[in-house]
Amino acid sequence: MKKQVIYSIFFLFMSINILGWGGETHQLLTHYSWLKSKKLGDMTFLLQLNLDKGMLNERLSDGNAVNNSDEWMQYGAEHEDDSNLPLIPDRSNFHFHNPLKEWSDAGLTDTHFGTSGSSVWWAQNSLLQAFISNDEKKAHTWYVAREYFYKALIEFVDMDLRKIYFAELFKTLGHQVHLIQDMAVPDHVRNDSHWEKDVLGEKKYGSFRCIESWADYNTRKSGKIETIASGTAQTPLIGFSTPADPECPVSIAWLSDTKQYKISQTPTAGLDQGLAEYTNANFFSEDTIFTEEYEHDHKHWFPHPSKSETNVMSLNMPREVTAEDSKKDWIKSVNKKIGGENLDNLVFAGYYENRVDKETYDYKFTFFLSDICHEEYATKLIPRAVGYSASLLDYFFRGEIEVNLPVSNPGIQPPQIEGIYSLCTDPAIGFNKISLMVKNITSNSEEMTSGKVTLVVSYRTCNGNPHVPTPPFPEEDRKFILVDYQGEVSIPRDNPLRINFDLSANPLPFNAVDVTLAVIFKGNLGAELTNAVAVGFKDIGEPSPIDLFNNTDLVCHDGTYVNYDDPNLIQQVDLNHNGVIDCAQGEKNVIPAKITPKYISFNGQAASMTNYYYKFPEAAPITIQPGQTYRLYFLGDDNPALTNISVSVNAASISNSSIPTDGACSVSYDSDPFEVNSYFNKLSWVSVQNQYKHSHGGIGTYRGIYYFNLVRFDNISVPENSSCSSNSANSFQTESTFTDDQNLPKTQLPKIIQKSKNRNIR
């Protein structure tokens, strides 16, 4: 580290302009890197970031300007060459990397002012970047991007500040891909400062001296660069499982240099090498044409491309070509068909020039890079610049966590799914805890260890009650709940880990809608230590009500439901006509019962004292009187098949009924579990209409409401074609709007119309 800092002190001189791709070319390459990134092109991933208008529509301000994420990346890529201090090296001095050197010595030395550090090191050195820019806010390293990403994911108090963090994140990633793109410029990997274009002019023999000038011209004046950049990207086949180097440990350095070429010095065209290695071994810059005969310590010695890999020793007759200025010329083209990348136009030998040697004139070819060379170079280098940049973006956002419903006793096989994330038993409190399972599903088998975990609950609210057949439209703006898990966490790749989050300080309201869960991890991820970030996302179902009705004041008699004290019913039940319901004598109990819920489960098994999600309080039991209801709310998945509800209750006949009983009529049983199909509806941003729209149906079916009976009456004789059932729970359909009251008056109860265990009210 000290050696690199000394480099910066050497540059107390005016630096010259030694830029790579032009600003507009960098913008274009960055745009297509954004489009071809698997992560940034994935709408599900965008939801993980809670940018629910999508990357292109979400406007992000850095405090001065407003752009979308793609535009901020382009801005960062364009301005990576900017510097504030003229008496020290330009930022672009640090955009060079010679893959034949050790990384500590791989920077630019082709100047009169000393040497610069390598670009792979510059990408990860915040201290030097801040010094060169004379502003710590102008440090745009990998670590700075990581910090902005994490802050953006957890900042929900100040939404303007959150957008600033996102703007700075994508701006910084633009600076990072700029450095990768420069590795596709031969000058930048062959120690060629290419100062001649600033002093002698951009062109030589009618062609641009370097590919950067040619590309910049064709970005502005033609569609050639965009045509190439929009084609198939060349994505690297590089592993990121090990740290790169003690001074630049983040594995993005492998995208530039895998150190293979330094050892073998064998040119290849494969995608399993760093971009600097590929460019160095297969292409020329103006000052490094056929330099394999130089001394190995010469600043421009490069073993490849070599003459033996070309047809330079047996050039054919010259051919006529048309230059960019439409003028025709006769030149000799040198091709490269051996070793690494094949090129029809590696370099041109266009003219003879005399070289004075011991008073004799020796005429030799003058080699130069024609615009035809630049165009062929571009067809090879630009797809890699785009693909390698997209790979950097995907590596940055690679951390992925799978979020699922909680499991009881996860060590037992098969694990017992609990069925819901949370239960709300008091609307005044809301959901005060959320339990879930997390699993590391990051690609490349990277381990996720020693980190901090945060839950972000995102939701909207309604101006009114959402649990009615026609609920009000939800508010557009989201609300967020942030909960840190106490303690260090390692998220495994094999068996999922259960995490319980305490929301008691800021519960989720029972009337929340459009709820999503995001789990944020910051810690070690594979070879990236301490500040790697991973995200898990789950778009869950809405808080759904469960209404427990006590309809024991109604009995199915002769195909219709009647009140329990209906004279015709009593006459049929009271077989000995003594005015008493003698349950001990086999007479059927039609006396209303008070219902006390005991246990409720959501895992598909009958609720009992050995299987329950929630145990109702015994000290202050909840009693549901005949003709009344009790409501709870649950958070489940958006998959209806995963939610099954079972309630265990105690039912006891009411002793002060107008019809006496013999005291043997109390009943107690476990109710059968049944499946609830919770209706799922979300809002999504429709860019063409510039507004939010429901993505699952209309507002009229926004909420499914479910009702079921707690007591059933067996063995009451009714005709087979009756309209009510003698052996199943009753079904309900509303004739009025329900409220959220804990005890709904009998006069507001729905009319019973048909048999079923439950009915979805629309």
Same domain, 414 and 354: no
Same domain, 443 and 466: yes
Same domain, 655 and 616: yes
Residue located via tokens 């008070």: 594
Terminal Cα-to-Cα distance of the chain (whole angstroms) = 68
Q: CA neighbours within 13 Å on the CB side: how many for 98?
A: 28
Residue 677: count other Cβ atoms within 10 Å of its Cβ: 14
pLDDT tier at 3 (50, 70, 90 boundaries)?
very low
Same domain, 439 and 566: no
Give dist(CA 528, CA 252) in Å, integer.
10
Distances (CA, A) of 260 to 102, 118, 245, 273: 12, 17, 14, 7
CATH code, domain carrying 433: 2.60.40
Same domain, 316 and 346: yes
Helix (H, G, I), strand (E, B) or coil at 282: helix
Same domain, 505 and 561: no
Distances (CA, A) of 607 to 545, 600, 647, 702: 18, 5, 5, 29
- The reported pLDDT for the residue numbered 191 is 94
Structural domain count of the chain: 3
- The answer to whether 415 and 409 are in contact (CB under 8 A) is yes
- Overall average pLDDT of the 522-550 stretch: 88
Give dist(CA 403, CA 537) in Å, integer.
6
pLDDT tier at 607 (50, 70, 90 boundaries)?
confident
Helix (H, G, I), strand (E, B) or coil at 149: helix
430 Cβ contact partners less than 8 Å away, ≥ 6 residues apart: 424, 503, 507, 508, 509, 510
Which tops the pLDDT comparison, 552 or 211? 211
- The answer to whether 550 and 563 are in contact (CB under 8 A) is no
Same domain, 479 and 390: no
Same domain, 370 and 475: no
> 90-99, 645-654, 671-680, 687-696: lowest mean pLDDT where?
671-680
Whole domain around residue 642: which residue ranges? 545-761
Tokens of 665: 């009529």
Same domain, 711 and 647: yes
pTM of the model: 0.82
- The answer to whether 455 and 518 are in contact (CB under 8 A) is yes
- Using a 10 angstrom Cβ sphere, with 0-12 exposed, 13-18 middle and 19 or more buried, the burial of residue 247 is middle
Same domain, 582 and 478: no
Give dist(CA 663, CA 661) in Å, integer.
6
Domain termination residue (choose one: 370, 396, 422): 396
- The answer to whether 39 and 393 are in contact (CB under 8 A) is yes
Q: What are phi and psi of 96, to 5 degrees?
A: -120, 145
Same domain, 246 and 260: yes
Residues 429-473 pLDDT 10s = 999 999 999 999 998 889 999 999 999 999 988 877 777 656 677
Residues 573-595 pLDDT 10s = 888 999 888 888 888 878 888 88
Which tops the pLDDT comparison, 348 or 648? 348
Domain termination residue (choose one: 502, 525, 540): 540
Residues 120-148 pLDDT 10s = 999 999 888 888 876 667 799 999 999 99
Distances (CA, A) of 342 to 377, 379, 478, 554, 583: 11, 12, 55, 88, 97
Same domain, 621 and 642: yes
Give dist(CA 86, CA 16) in Å, integer.
9
Which tops the pLDDT comparison, 756 or 98? 98
